[in-house]
């Protein structure tokens, strides 16, 4: 006889603005998630996986760091950039549209420094997207 077991999961409440909620709804429909919770869980799994990859970095590494932000926050980016000049081998800045800018940093140095610059952008709430790719 088959028994239907429900797996008990803790419930975590979060607040989302309308823009993020629309994006989650779009992901739900385009990627085939059964609901918002599934889409959010997938995003969290991805974030946890990326953080685990950073934890596993060691020694001297080469990496690419992508940062997207509103153009009004160029000074925030420059402040962080100047703190890590010895790590940055190349920096490209591109205006995506009237409001958004993309920064591409090519990094070479100790893993601790690569992680530190990434975290400096991640904790800055004025940045839209931060993506690290270790090579």
Instruction: Please give the average per-residue pLDDT across 34-43, as a whole number.
Output: 92
- pTM equals 0.75
The DSSP code for 45 is: H
C-alpha 111/C-alpha 80 separation (Å) is 17
Tens digit of each residue's pLDDT (9 = 90 or more) over 72-103: 999 999 999 999 999 999 999 999 999 999 99
pLDDT of residue 72: 96
pLDDT of residue 95: 96
Instruction: Please give the average per-residue pLDDT across 118-133, as a whole number.
Output: 95
Instruction: Please give the average per-residue pLDDT across 55-60, as a whole number.
Output: 89
pLDDT of residue 85: 97
Q: Is the Cβ–Cβ distance between 126 and 116 less than 8 Å?
A: no
Residue 6 above 80 pLDDT?
no
Helix 74-83 × helix 111-122 angle, to 10°: 160
Query: How many CB atoms are closer than 10 A to CB 109?
Result: 18
Percentage above 90 pLDDT, the chain: 75
pLDDT of residue 63: 96
């Amino acid at each position: 006889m088959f028994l239907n077991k429900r797996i008990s999961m803790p419930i975590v409440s979060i607040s989302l603005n309308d823009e993020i909620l629309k994006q989650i709804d779009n992901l739900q429909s385009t990627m085939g998630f059964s609901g918002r919770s599934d889409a959010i869980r997938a995003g969290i799994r991805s974030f946890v996986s990326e953080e685990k990859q950073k934890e596993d970095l060691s020694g001297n590494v080469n990496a690419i760091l992508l940062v997207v932000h509103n153009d009004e926050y160029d000074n925030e980016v420059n402040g962080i950039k100047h703190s890590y000049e010895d790590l940055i081998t190349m920096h490209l800045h591109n205006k995506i549209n009237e409001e958004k800018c993309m920064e591409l940093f090519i990094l070479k140095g100790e893993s601790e420094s690569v992680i530190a610059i990434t975290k400096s952008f991640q904790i800055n709430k004025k940045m839209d997207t931060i993506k690290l790719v270790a090579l």
